[in-house]
Amino acid sequence: MFALVLATLPIFADDESEIGVFDRPGEYIDLSTVFTDEFGNQVELERLFKMPTILNFVYYRCPGICSPLLSGVQDVVDKVQLDPGEDFRVITVSISDTEDHLLASQKKKNYMNGLTRTFPEAEWRWLTGDSTNIARLTQSAGFGFRRTGDDFAHGAAILVVMPDGKISRYLYGTSYNHFDLKLALMEAGEGRIGPTIAKVIKFCFSYDPEGRVYVFNFLKVSAILTLLFAGVFVVALLRKTNKINAVKGS
């Protein structure tokens, strides 16, 4: 039940001996790790990273924050206006080395059935593994956890990772804004870590590092619109003046 308690605590940590989520944008997760997929097949993680990927860590028997986190992933991928299999895929990894592919398969079925959009089953993978591979992957991802009896104490976040395994962004908590996720996936698709994607989006929105969300840059847009209208007014006034002068001259 420690996960329930942890849900009320800060998920950031300064010491890697602590439990939490350690920001590592620009660093690489360990794609050489090997896991068992929901079909019982051994797969090297690198084979699954062919596009921007939403990576999340849970354990399938979790009595605490894992279910809300997975529900949050389910909800946001149902709403994000990008195509699974072309623009992104999802990979869920169990941090428990005692869970197997049968449990992963059942969990996948439950959450896939809850989606309302068409979502290819191959684009949300559910993995289990041994303690060595789990440790290598979670450490490289900055995900700190600790076993507490039959449970695990851990934080709540999802990672957006580039096709080559570079971490683009972390989205924290158990619920996620689909617009935030869309921008993060677009950044990852362009190989970018910062919020500098399409020019219009880059201009209109700024990334708030404290709140870890994209916010509409009202002041910036208002200032530019004011200058634009002022410019249009000046041009119109000059044209009108030139026409009057032309009439007087004739």
- Cβ neighbours of residue 90 under 8 Å, at least 6 residues apart? 53, 54, 56, 73, 77, 84, 123, 124, 125
Q: Which pLDDT value is given to residue 131?
A: 95
122: DSSP letter: G
Q: Which pLDDT value is given to residue 59?
A: 94
Q: Which pLDDT value is given to residue 238?
A: 72
Topology of the domain covering 2-215:
Glutaredoxin (3.40.30)
Concatenating the DSSP letter of every residue in 38-95 gives TTS-EEEGGGG-SS-EEEEEE-TT-SSTHHHHHHHHHHHHHH-SS-BTTTBEEEEEES
**What are the angstrom distances between the C-alpha of 105 and each of 28, 37, 55, 124, 152?**
28, 8, 17, 11, 21
* Mean pLDDT, 10 residues at a time, the chain of 250 residues: 38 54 92 97 96 97 92 96 96 96 97 96 97 97 90 92 95 89 91 55 52 57 66 71 63
Q: Which pLDDT value is given to residue 196?
A: 39
φ/ψ of 164, rounded to 5, equals -90, 5
Q: Which pLDDT value is given to residue 92?
A: 98
- Cβ neighbours of residue 245 under 8 Å, at least 6 residues apart? none
Beta bridge partners of 215: 206
